[in-house]
Amino acid sequence: MMARHVQLLLSITTLANVEAVNLRSRVFGNNLTGLLEQNRTDYAPAPHPRHYHFMATSTRYGTNPHTACGLDSAALVRGTDYLAVASAQAMQDGCCRCNRNGGGGRTASLGCGSCGKGRFVRQLPRGFKIWTPASAQIFHKEYKFVVVDICPHSHNAMWCPARAGQANQFGVHNHFDFATVPHHFDNYYFEFTPEPCNHDMQSRLARMSKCHLR
């Protein structure tokens, strides 16, 4: 009886140790996966812009009542056909508040209060499977956008270059972190061309921003 009791205790202890090792392995595996993802350089080449001047990668982060451009991003675009975006630090003239146009060369010049137009390209930088059909409106509609914030390099090194002429981890010189997004949004490539904001948006920027945007 005593021998059976000791054997049972040994089995429980062994099982606990195995579970602990497995847990550590899973944690290490997750950390290793993240580390490898940050250092990958073998992604498929980015598409070239076909109908617009520049190509960008894209992410989403939601609206903010106090952006680096001194405004409430949700309020700015409410009732308009503009999408609110944060542009990469390289596209602005510095970091991190009330920046004007930066960029140059393959890096678009889009600081606080700048606008543009473009379309989403049905391709993901990491090569993941795309479940949204090619017929979806997001791949065919032209979207207008306005820069309301900055994507600083220090916290977004994978996506947002620090200086004009630099590319992100996917070989792209531009990046938009979307505060507002259309239906079916994912991290698709986005081809675009800067353009002046329309009169209504210019008025909104002048009225709502603490950065004295004109």
pLDDT tens-digit series, residues 2-47: 445 444 444 444 444 433 333 333 333 344 434 445 556 578 899 9
Does any domain span residue 135? Answer: yes
Which residue segment(s) compose the domain that 104 sits in? Answer: 54-208
Residue 18 structure tokens: 């195995």
For position 41, what pLDDT does the model report? 59
C-alpha–C-alpha distance, residues 141 and 50, integer Å? 15
For position 19, what pLDDT does the model report? 38
Does any domain span residue 185? Answer: yes
CATH of the domain at 114: 2.40.40.10
C-alpha–C-alpha distance, residues 144 and 80, integer Å? 10
Number of domains comprising the chain: 1
Residue 36 structure tokens: 């490898």
Does any domain span residue 92? Answer: yes
Does any domain span residue 15? Answer: no
Does any domain span residue 60? Answer: yes
Does any domain span residue 214? Answer: no
Average pLDDT on 83-95 reads: 97
For position 30, what pLDDT does the model report? 40
Instruction: Assess contact for 197 and 148: CB atoms under 8 A.
Output: no
For position 190, what pLDDT does the model report? 99
Does any domain span residue 213? Answer: no
∠ CA 44-116-163, rounded to 5° = 60
95: confidence class by pLDDT, cuts 50, 70, 90: very high
Does any domain span residue 46? Answer: no
